[in-house]
Amino acid sequence: MSNFRFYQRASRAFNDHPTLSKTLVVAAAFSGGSIVAYADSKPQAIDSVVPSDGAADPKKKIVVLGTGWAGTSFLKNLKNPSYEVQVVSPRNFFAFTPLLPSVTVGTVEARSIVEPVRNIVRKKNVHVGFFEAECYKIDAKNKRVYCRSTGDVDLNGNAEFVVDYDYLVVAMGARANTFNTPGVVENCHFLKELEDALRIRRTVIDCFEKASLPNLTDEERRRILHFVVVGGGPTGVEFAAELHDFVNEDLVKLYPTVKDLVKITLLEAGEHILNMFDKRITAFAEDKFKRDGIDVRLGSMVTKVSDKEISTREVKNGEVSSVPYGMVVWSTGIGTRPEIMDFMKQISQANRRVLATDEWLRVEGTESIYALGDCATINQRKVMEDISAIFNKADKDKSGTLTVKEFQEVIHDVIERYPQVELYLKSMQMKNIADLLKAAKTDDAKESVELNIEEFKKALSQVDSQMKNLPATAQVAAQQGAYLAKCFNRMEECERNPEGPLRFRGEGRHRFRPFR
Amino acid sequence: MSNFRFYQRASRAFNDHPTLSKTLVVAAAFSGGSIVAYADSKPQAIDSVVPSDGAADPKKKIVVLGTGWAGTSFLKNLKNPSYEVQVVSPRNFFAFTPLLPSVTVGTVEARSIVEPVRNIVRKKNVHVGFFEAECYKIDAKNKRVYCRSTGDVDLNGNAEFVVDYDYLVVAMGARANTFNTPGVVENCHFLKELEDALRIRRTVIDCFEKASLPNLTDEERRRILHFVVVGGGPTGVEFAAELHDFVNEDLVKLYPTVKDLVKITLLEAGEHILNMFDKRITAFAEDKFKRDGIDVRLGSMVTKVSDKEISTREVKNGEVSSVPYGMVVWSTGIGTRPEIMDFMKQISQANRRVLATDEWLRVEGTESIYALGDCATINQRKVMEDISAIFNKADKDKSGTLTVKEFQEVIHDVIERYPQVELYLKSMQMKNIADLLKAAKTDDAKESVELNIEEFKKALSQVDSQMKNLPATAQVAAQQGAYLAKCFNRMEECERNPEGPLRFRGEGRHRFRPFR
């Protein structure tokens, strides 16, 4: 199916760079071979190039699931033409999600924040195919994914298909987390997808139009114009602010008769909004909202959402109340997608909250599956898990004690492998690890810093307290995508000359530096 | 409800033009009084103005149904502040419909072709209220319209309401005409509304994405990429051309593997496309489409549309065939909306195809209802219907014969009242009406042009053949809206000094010149 473009490119390459052509042509003979359900569609226009004898290795096939921040960043950064890439995503575009709150009020046009995936990949030197479909099952054992076409066009029962992979990159993101609160799915808007933003935009205007109709009591108008935002994270806060500005700068002019009936409420179960940020930011936002007349209700848990009322319980005193609303936007963080849940069961991660990977973004318990973005977290290795291995590796003379000098030889590898060490040193305001080791010695022995295994354990015992999960942000996802693409770009090179830290438990070095 | 803005304006007017303020303030006391279901919402900010003793006439209430070309043009041109206007339309925006075909392919962004109605009316000196609702019943007897709110927001059973009027302006447009062809409503796209255009845009891309999936045969891909346009009028032709360009300029780059499977077919039941235009335009378009590879099939009637096949019968030989398709756009002209049908029954127009008005756009058989745009046609008065009245009016000396001189005195009124007369003269290449009268005389009497009633009838007998219905175009609708608004602007003035032609059947003159 995708052979045509490849041949075109190959023949172009032939003309431009005669030395390149051989490799490309050879590879072309195998492109498409690793997809099970690939339609056998005629390679068109095979004129100037002839497939070779097939002696070379077939291209390794990378299947990418998802075209969000992580998936798109991976695609943009992948430059090694020795892979064949197949993207499967229910959306044929990448959306610049931090601007979704602006799209809800029309400040930014939807078209301005999307980039077609086919546009992103069509000029690359790597062959990238795209299927608009959702993956509903990952079969790690047989290295294949099951997909289903979305959308309206009828495919005569051919909507499902299977794609094989050599490497799988899972970047499917997350879904909105409802905490199983009754009525949320039925009655609330989310703000994760572009379609959500457009739907919110229509609903806001709808509410103003409805409130302007005759026959309604003022009480009813107030209900319709009561906008509730659940969740005081960045998305909820941003949306509340945008909505406030939209109402006060634009809608008051168009709907002067109902403008005084509008109310915006922000419900946050925690003690503060934006609690992941610096306290000054929180204080500023809370203060600004107060001045703007946005009713911020902290410590308020939503217990139920009916078609016209939202019920809350105060965390402090358990007080229960209900308020009528016109529109609710639910933005309380992310939950795991059902396909990911199913996959986690397969690989014995069923009791985890989210897909766990190692520091190289490889899914734990699998060989060739990588996961990045909001559908995964890096399960950082604890220093204390490996403490004996580290000690043994560092104790080169096998004396049973570790000198500062001995330790200094592995220190870079330790810091690279266990980033929490550096964070701990920083938090303790220590210059270097020698200070840490010294601190573990009893006072009288400070001068001769030589530790046995027990002292070494004691020295590093607090280090793991500094482990932190990365936030589920667009930035982290994009960085992970770029990181993984660069690993793939240099896969063979780093196989030969590993550039990662020492393997404390095994032999040799890791191929790549871990993701930071 | 709408009092607030009015008072604001009134108080502004008071400051700016002291002489105006009295009238405006007096009128304000009554605004909103004529709407039955108007909510009794607090007049806010009554500070500088005080309602007078109520001795003046209440404002006349104009209700406008629809915000298309006709309705919007009426609103834009209405300048007489002695009316209170209430607009009822399911769409709170005006859409520049000639650009809809461009929206289907993204050449023009939807946002660029709409104008919010509330924006259009908010700076006017005439008070205009807006309800986003559809009128589902006109009650001409009681001068009220029954309306129903559209959209998602639940109104607790208050979605229906009634609006009273003094004058009703019906500008609801038309719906797509399916000629009751089975399967059209279920399986075809129309191209009348903005939402239609956006849906088509999504479906075109959907078809390309679906055709790019694995597992499909080429036959199936060809089906999905077969775009059928039914109707060779301006909209269908424009859409086919836009789609062709979109496919060949943009989509071939993004979907190179399936580009050769695309086909566009245009089905036209008549002998030519664009048959309302000059033959050279038709020939050019047919020729251009042929070169572009658009398959134009003339004389092809659609008999049925199933979910995957469209069936046609050739007009010439009755041959029946079916072709598989991916998307059908149905654009075969306009039909009457069910609310209009219902209204036509009320006013004994049930056996007509569309709402009939007189030349002043007033609905025949009603007193204060006007209809314009695609939901109405002007039922032009035949000269032959009024021939005796014209003769009598012109025959001032009641001699039983008409001299050229006598006739010349009423000629301007005749031409104004019966535009077909002028068209007939033009088509017969006659300079003036004297030629027409002369032509009716037997050869030997040509010199003394004096006609009796029979000769007069004979002279004008062919004139009515030149009557033509106005085309259902945006331009005509807009002109009618502007015309009617100007009539309303000058209603009182023209009541006193009628400027229209003589009433041949009655006494005096018509208030306004008829719409041309």
Q: pLDDT tens digits, residue range B392-418?
A: 888 888 888 888 788 888 888 888 888
Same domain for B219 and B315? Answer: yes
Q: Is A215 close to B4, i.e. CB distance below 8 A? A: no
Same domain for B77 and B133? Answer: yes
Q: What DSSP element (H or E) covers A491?
A: helix A491-496
CATH code at B447? 1.10.238
List of residues 6+ apart from B491 with CB closer than 8 A = B80, B511
Per-residue pLDDT at A41 exceeds 70:
no
Chain centre to alpha carbon of residue B73: 11
- What pLDDT, on the 0 to 100 scale, is given for residue B41? 35
Q: Mean pLDDT over all residues of chain B?
A: 84
| Cα distances (Å, whole numbers) of residue A252 to B111, B125, B398 | 21, 19, 67
Q: Does A4 touch chain B (CB under 8 A)?
A: yes
Per-residue pLDDT at B447 exceeds 70:
no
Is A153 inside a domain boundary? yes
Give the tokens for residue A512: 């790549």
**Amino acid identity at A275:** N
Burial A345-363 (b: 16+ CB within 10 A, else e): eebebeeeebbbbbbbbbb
* Of the candidates B433, B442, B436, the residue with the CA atom closest to the CA atom of residue B414: B433
How many Å lie between the alpha carbon of A321 and the closest alpha carbon of chain B?
A: 21
- What pLDDT, on the 0 to 100 scale, is given for residue B280? 94
- Please compute, for residue B213, the number of CA atoms within 13 A of its CA located in the half-sphere on the CB side: 33
Per-residue pLDDT at B497 exceeds 50:
yes
Name the residue among B210, B215, B308 with its Cβ closest to that of A151: B210
Q: Is B213 close to A161, i.e. CB distance below 8 A? A: yes
- What pLDDT, on the 0 to 100 scale, is given for residue B294? 97
Give φ, ψ of A358 to 5 degrees.
-85, -175
* Of the candidates A432, A427, A382, the residue with the CA atom closest to the CA atom of residue A407: A432
Per-residue pLDDT, averaged over B109-126, amounts to: 91
Q: Is A401 left (phi over 0), alpha (psi -120 to 50) or beta?
A: beta
DSSP state of B98: G
Distance CA A279, CA A283 (A): 6
Same domain for A127 and A165? Answer: yes
DSSP state of B397: T
Q: Which residue matches tokens 């009813």?
A: A220
Same domain for A213 and A302? Answer: yes
- Please compute, for residue A313, the number of CA atoms within 13 A of its CA located in the half-sphere on the CB side: 6
Per-residue pLDDT at A196 exceeds 90:
yes
Is B436 inside a domain boundary? yes
- What pLDDT, on the 0 to 100 scale, is given for residue B388? 87
Q: Is B254 close to A133, i.e. CB distance below 8 A? A: no
- Per the structure, the complete domain to which residue B350 belongs is given by 61-174+336-380+489-515
Q: What DSSP element (H or E) covers B15?
A: helix B3-16
Per-residue pLDDT, averaged over B247-257, amounts to: 93
- What pLDDT, on the 0 to 100 scale, is given for residue A153? 65
Is B50 inside a domain boundary? no
High-pLDDT (> 70) share of chain A, %: 86
Using CA atoms in the order B344, B345, B351, B352, what is the torsion angle rounded to 10 degrees? 0
Same domain for A159 and A235? Answer: no
Q: Which residues of A touch B152 (CB under 8 A)?
A: 203, 206
CA nearest to A112 within chain B: B109
Of the two residues A134 and B48, the one the predictor is more confident about is: A134
Per-residue pLDDT at A467 exceeds 90:
no
User: pLDDT band for position A16 (50/70/90)?
Assistant: very low
Q: Which residues of A touch B112 (CB under 8 A)?
A: none
High-pLDDT (> 70) share of chain B, %: 86
* Cα torsion angle, A126, A127, A129, A135, sign: negative
- Please compute, for residue A238, the number of CA atoms within 13 A of its CA located in the half-sphere on the CB side: 15
> What value does the CA radius of gyration of chain A take, rounded to a whole number of Å?
28
- What pLDDT, on the 0 to 100 scale, is given for residue A287? 95
Same domain for A315 and A340? Answer: no
- What pLDDT, on the 0 to 100 scale, is given for residue A123? 82
Same domain for A415 and A376? Answer: no
Q: What is the full DSSP assignment across B359-373? A: TTSBBTT-SSEEE-G
Q: Which residues of B touch A203 (CB under 8 A)?
A: 152-153
Residue count of chain A = 516
Of the two residues A401 and A372, the one the predictor is more confident about is: A372
Interface of B with A in 61-120 (CB under 8 A): 92, 109, 111, 116, 118-119
From A104-113, A408-417, B37-46, the region with the lowest mean pLDDT: B37-46
Strand partners, B65: B88, B170
Is A416 inside a domain boundary? yes
Is A478 inside a domain boundary? no
Hey, which bits of B22-82 come out as E strands? Answer: 60-65
Q: What is the full DSSP assignment across B116-169? A: EHHHHHTT-SSEEEEEEEEEEEEETTTTEEEEEE-SSS--TT--EEEEE-SEEE
User: pLDDT band for position B364 (50/70/90)?
Assistant: very high
High-pLDDT (> 90) share of chain B, %: 59
Q: Which residue matches tokens 């400070």?
A: A446
User: pLDDT band for position B51 (50/70/90)?
Assistant: very low
CA nearest to B106 within chain A: A111
* Chain B interface, best mutation among A145, A156, A215, A328, by max B CB count within 10 A: A215
- What pLDDT, on the 0 to 100 scale, is given for residue B101? 95
**Amino acid identity at B299:** G
Q: Dump pLDDT digits (tens) for A326-364.
A: 999 999 988 999 999 999 999 989 888 889 999 999 999
**Coil, helix or strand for A266?**
strand
Interface of A with B in 356-385 (CB under 8 A): none
ipTM for this model: 0.82
Q: Helices (DSSP H) in A396-473: which residue ranges?
A: 404-417, 420-427, 433-440, 453-460
Same domain for A99 and A231? Answer: no
How many other CB atoms are found less than 10 A from the CB of residue B448?
Answer: 10
Q: Which residues of A touch B107 (CB under 8 A)?
A: none
- What pLDDT, on the 0 to 100 scale, is given for residue B507? 85
Q: Does A260 touch chain B (CB under 8 A)?
A: yes
Q: Dump pLDDT digits (tens) for A200-214.
A: 999 999 999 999 999
Distance CA B439, CA A427 (A): 111
Q: Is B256 close to A4, i.e. CB distance below 8 A? A: yes
- What pLDDT, on the 0 to 100 scale, is given for residue B45? 32
Give the tokens for residue A302: 């939503």
**Coil, helix or strand for A352?**
coil
Q: Which residues of B touch A116 (CB under 8 A)?
A: 254
* Chain A interface, best mutation among B5, B61, B209, B250, by max A CB count within 10 A: B209
Q: Does B156 touch chain A (CB under 8 A)?
A: yes
Q: Is A158 close to B308, i.e. CB distance below 8 A? A: no
Per-residue pLDDT, averaged over A70-88, amounts to: 96
Name the residue among B35, B41, B254 with its Cβ closest to that of A118: B254
Per-residue pLDDT at A23 exceeds 70:
no
Same domain for B317 and B450? Answer: no
Q: Is A11 left (phi over 0), alpha (psi -120 to 50) or beta?
A: alpha
CB A74 within 8 A of CB A482: yes
Per-residue pLDDT, averaged over B185-190, amounts to: 96
Name the residue among A122, A253, A326 with its Cβ closest to that of B253: A122
What's the pTM value of the predicted model, to 2 decimals? 0.83
Of the two residues A299 and A5, the one the predictor is more confident about is: A299
Interface of B with A in 158-177 (CB under 8 A): 158-161, 163
| Cα distances (Å, whole numbers) of residue A43 to A8, A380, A440, A461 | 11, 47, 69, 62
List of residues 6+ apart from B168 with CB closer than 8 A = B62, B63, B65, B138, B140, B143, B145, B368, B369, B370
Same domain for A409 and A510? Answer: no
Distance CA A219, CA A225 (A): 10
Is A180 inside a domain boundary? no
How many Å lie between the alpha carbon of A35 and the closest alpha carbon of chain B?
A: 9
Find the helix packing angle between A433-440 and A453-460, rounded to 10°. Answer: 120
Same domain for A120 and A70? Answer: yes
Burial A56-95 (b: 16+ CB within 10 A, else e): eebbbbbbbbbbbbbbbbbbbbbebbebbbbbbbbbbbbb
Q: Does B353 touch chain A (CB under 8 A)?
A: no
CB B78 within 8 A of CB B489: yes
Give the tokens for residue B268: 């036209």
Q: Is A151 close to B206, i.e. CB distance below 8 A? A: yes
Q: Which residue matches tokens 């997909």?
A: A147
- Please compute, for residue A169, the number of CA atoms within 13 A of its CA located in the half-sphere on the CB side: 34
Same domain for A303 and A369? Answer: no
Q: Dump pLDDT digits (tens) for B214-245.
A: 989 999 999 999 999 999 999 999 999 999 99
Chain centre to alpha carbon of residue A149: 23
The side-by-side arrangement of strands in the sheet containing B320-324 is: B300-305, B309-314, B320-324
Per-residue pLDDT at B119 exceeds 70:
yes
Domain count along chain B:
4
Q: Does B1 touch chain A (CB under 8 A)?
A: yes
Give the tokens for residue B146: 């029954």
How many Å lie between the alpha carbon of A103 and the closest alpha carbon of chain B?
A: 13
Is B183 inside a domain boundary? no
Q: Does A45 touch chain B (CB under 8 A)?
A: no
Is A94 inside a domain boundary? yes
The side-by-side arrangement of strands in the sheet containing A144-149 is: A160-164, A144-149, A127-139, A83-89, A60-65, A167-170, A369-371
Strand partners, A160: A148
CATH code at B287? 3.50.50.100
Q: Does B306 touch chain A (CB under 8 A)?
A: no
Find the helix packing angle between B420-427 and B404-417, rounded to 10°. Answer: 110
Name the residue among A153, A212, A255 with its Cβ closest to that of B206: A153
CB B63 within 8 A of CB B145: yes
Q: Does A44 touch chain B (CB under 8 A)?
A: yes
Q: Which residues of B touch A205 (CB under 8 A)?
A: 92
CB A145 within 8 A of CB A65: yes
- What pLDDT, on the 0 to 100 scale, is given for residue A57? 66
Distance CA B74, CA B69 (A): 8
| Cα distances (Å, whole numbers) of residue B32 to A453, B59, B81, B84, B105 | 89, 9, 14, 8, 44
* Chain B interface, best mutation among A119, A210, A228, A261, by max B CB count within 10 A: A210
Strand partners, A403: A450
* Cα torsion angle, B240, B244, B246, B251, sign: positive
Q: Is A118 close to B161, i.e. CB distance below 8 A? A: no
Per-residue pLDDT, averaged over B317-335, amounts to: 95
Q: Is A92 close to B205, i.e. CB distance below 8 A? A: yes
User: pLDDT band for position B28 (50/70/90)?
Assistant: very low
Per-residue pLDDT at A190 exceeds 60:
yes
* Chain A interface, best mutation among B131, B213, B250, B306, by max A CB count within 10 A: B213
